[in-house]
Structure 1
Amino acid sequence: MSLAPVSAPAARTAPGADAAAPTLRTVGVEEELLLVDPRTGRTVPGGPAVTRWAAPAGSDAPGPVAGVVVPLESELQQEQVETATPPRTAMADVAEDLRRLRRAADAAARSVGARAAALATFPLPVAPVLTPDPRYEAIAAHVGLTCAEQLTCGCHVHVAVSCDEEGVAVLDRIRPWLPVLTVVATNSPFWQGADTGYAGYRTQAWNRWPGTGPADPFGSAAAYHAVVAELIATGTVLDEAMVYFDARLSAHYPTVEIRVPDVCLDVADTVLVAALARALVDTAADRWRAGEPVPADPTCVLRMAAWRASRSGTADDLVDPATHRLRPAPDVLAALLDHTRDALAAAGDLAVVEQGLDRVLTRGTGARWQRGVAQATGRLEDVVAAAAERTVA
């Protein structure tokens, strides 16, 4: 992953609220993509071969595929690859990076007769093939069927923070809003050949893993690291990378990593997610510096909100972060916009987010598009082929 921020301080830890916020926080986006055969609509277990066709990280030399000058990383299953943007401050640059990386991944995938598809779950029945790697093999042996059946693709947004204290203050304050962020990225209605009834079934599949979901407020960086150490000490997660909180401190970069979104079918929706993620971090950090207390949202209620977001997407009622009661999706998304409005305006992202939220409410997310293709053609294979085209459109 190539997400080391270019404008955030390099130190991982620093004393409390005296640390200055970055003038404009950098954002980096990781996208997991599926490798598919558009002729058959099936997956292609070509991840290790595809990543060998990309230039190594930091290289200026072109890769074996013309125009591929980008590192691609293998993922848990051989049917996946991962891309990572450089850290950026402008959302226009994030959008261009995402388009470039998707084209590069698709070009590399063609070397093994595949295409790259931004699908958060695979619509058809599939038995994933584990990537040969000692850590992945240890995970597979440890968690059994949960790993054997896991083929999901997420979008992880890294937002720069000045220090771990600021990062944990952010984690404690963005908790109630993460289910709403899930909603705008829902792109996984199908699983093993069936319509799940969910807009974002990836959330359900992913939450079978230990260490996933919302965490209780931590209160301090020391408490956060102590909890992570306790989780590892249980032997249930094998290392820090398996602490899969909905949002966490990155183990490698001075960032908060927000992990709840599905990989989005359209780059514009990914940019919407990235802009909202940065605005949530900015808003939370500002409130921490102002001395505002951490919201007292019970973690069990946040789990219900996340389930509802996964089930409903933009098509039905959602749990309001303020009242914990059901409200229409447009009202809850409007509340998210109001909550982050000042931060969005300060970053120059307000218009992008207003237009993006209007777009997903009007035409729906990737979940609605996938169902539309399936209804029109009657074939999930056509959903796969059309998604491969749309991924790089």
Structure 2
Amino acid sequence: MDTGATGATTISEDLAQKAESRELLTLGVEEEYMLVDAVEPRAVEAVEEVFDHIPAEISAFVQHELTRGQIEVASPPQLELGALAEALRGLRSGVAGAAEQAGARLLAMGSGPASGGNIRFVDKPRYHRMRERFGDLSPGPGLCGTHVHVSVPDDETGVQILNHLRPWLPIFQAATTNSPVFAGRDTGYASWRSMLWERWPTVGPAPYLRSFAEYETLVSDLESSGAMLDEGMLYWYARLAARYPTVEIRMGDVMPTTDDAVLLAALARGLVATLLNDVRDGKPAPDVPHPLLMAAHWRAAHDGLEGLNIDMATREPRPAWRLMRQLFDYVTPELERHGDLETATVLMGRLRSHGTGAARQRAILAQGGSVSDVVDRFARLTRGADPAA
């Protein structure tokens, strides 16, 4: 969930010039994590104690989330995929170490796997206003997602890219599913976080928009309606970032490992760059009926990559992994142009081998493990300390 935080750090002039000279797109990643007890799998209100131990060198990239049992990081913008991976590993390791010093553990899961009482909101005026306006829409320990920012030339182009992105985002959502277990049981969904998150009034696919002016008008109308406090509560699955010239892809669960997050970022940049070419060539965005798009996102949340999703070209169900491969092939030229193809190929193979976070959680349970075992393993994966990651 985005609560009006600053997002990816401002791009430097030098990096912007380098990207422009090579006609490459920059990217950054935001990740939200849960804080759980050092021994038990339950969420804990430990965020302020964790902040007391955050290393100075990463403090500028760490921020509060909605509840006292969550914390968020935002990588600096990068051109090189290796630099992004290094930044995310450093942030995960640093925040995980701070959590351990505070008597907690850092956990990259989309929702709270164990039962327990509600975790209170962080004591900030904006969060109190959200609670007053929207009531009990976010009970429990909170919801944790991944957001990928990819640079775009301008807002007008960004809106056109949003239109072209719409049919591709369900398979992105399927690839990020990492919250099948909630309150101690398997919910039957690969991403239960997605189902909980949809209760907020502005969550869903971005509508087809003819221009940036229409985008701005709709944002203003939604604020006036009371459905959101401000632009930070525009929870579309892809949107324009409020403070930076980026498209933000933001429908996914937080992913269990840095490798998973880096693969998602590489594919997001490859897709935005590919669609940017289509926009410049004047190709119209696909005409995808909104109910079918909603059905595809529901299927992504339910099945993950291990089941089916809807092929938007044929409007027929297909194995989700086949659609994932189709996405990879579609963006391969831009992966190669950005220098990401070799890394993305390796990481795609690892995801195919390990499965999504949802599949990995269920595998532990299927082998006789408990919710505590799931949390123990995923805390190690989050920190990067598990050799099988």
Q: Same fold (TM over 0.5)?
A: yes
Q: Distance in 2 between matches of 1:323 and 1:305?
A: 13
* In 1: Cα distance, 2:107 partner to 2:293 partner: 31
**Cα shift at 1:355:** 2.8
Q: Percent identity?
A: 39
Equivalent-residue separation in structure 2 for 1:68 and 1:350 (angstroms) = 29
Deviates more, 1:354-363 or 1:365-374: 354-363
Aligned partners of 2:168, 2:82: CA distance in 1, in Å? 24
Which position in structure 1 is the counterpart of 2:280?
289
Give the conservation status (yes or no) of the 8 Å contact 1:38–1:388: no
Secondary structure in structure 1 of the residue aligned to 2:35: strand
What is the CA–CA distance in structure 1 between the aligned matches of 2:325 and 2:372, rounded to whole Å?
A: 36
SS of the aligned residue for 2:346 comes to: helix
Which structure 1 residue ranges, 4+ long, deviate > 4 Å from structure 2? Answer: 67-70
Cα displacement (A) at 1:52: 3.8
User: Does the CA contact (< 8 Å) of 2:66 and 2:122 recur in 1?
Assistant: yes
Residue ranges of structure 1 left out of the alignment (5+ in a row): 10-19, 55-61
**Quick check: 1:82 aligned with 2:72?**
yes
The superposition leaves residues 27-65 of structure 1 with CA deviations (integer Å, 9 ceiling, x where unpaired) of 1100001111231122121113322433xxxxxxx53xx
Residues in 1 aligned to 2:303 and 2:344: alpha-carbon distance in whole angstroms: 21
Whether the aligned pair in 1 keeps the contact of 2:206 and 2:239 (CA below 8 Å) is no
Partner amino acid, structure 2, of 1:191: F
Query: Is structure 2 residue 193 aligned with structure 1 residue 202?
Result: yes
Give the direction of change, closer, same or farther, for the CA distance of 1:332–1:389 in structure 2 (3 Å limit): same
Question: Is the 8 Å Cα contact of residues 170 and 300 (structure 2) preserved in structure 1?
Answer: yes
Q: Which residue of 1 aligns with 2:3?
A: none
- Alignment equivalent of 1:147, drawn from 113, 138, 149: 138
Q: Is the 8 A contact 1:173 1:284 kept in 2?
A: yes
Gaps of 5+ in 2: 1-5, 385-389
Alignment of 1:1-393 (within 5 A): 1=6, 2-6=8-12, 7-8=15-16, 23-54=23-54, 63=56, 70-126=60-116, 127-149=118-140, 151-393=142-384
Amino acid at match of 1:273: L
Change over 3 Å in CA distance of 1:34–1:150 after alignment to 2: closer
Amino acid at match of 1:98: L
- Alpha-carbon offset, residue 199 of structure 1: 1.3
How does the TM-score come out when normalised to structure 1? 0.91
Indicate if the aligned counterparts of 2:307 and 2:320 stay in contact, CA closer than 8 A. Answer: yes
Aligned equivalents of 1:89 and 1:157: distance in 2?
Answer: 13
Question: Aligned-pair RMSD on alpha carbons?
Answer: 1.8
Instruction: Quote the Cα distance in structure 2 between the aligned partners of 1:5 and 1:70.
Output: 14
Partner Cα distance (1:360, 1:180) in 2: 14
> Structure 1 residue 79: deviation in Å?
0.5
Q: Higher mean Cα deviation, 375-384 or 33-42?
A: 375-384
Note if contact 2:112-2:183 (Cα within 8 Å) is conserved in structure 1. Answer: yes
| Aligned counterparts of 2:309 and 2:232: Cα–Cα separation in 1 | 30
Aligned letter for 1:42?
R
375-384 or 189-198, which moves further after superposition?
Answer: 375-384
Whether the aligned pair in 2 keeps the contact of 1:28 and 1:86 (CA below 8 Å) is yes
The residue number in structure 1 matching 2:387 is none
Q: Between 285-294 and 144-153, report the one with greater CA deviation.
A: 144-153
Aligned length: 373
Deviates more, 1:67-76 or 1:27-36: 67-76
Amino acid at match of 2:110: A
8 A Cα contact 1:140 1:148, kept in partner: no
Q: C-alpha displacement at 1:163, in angstroms?
A: 0.8
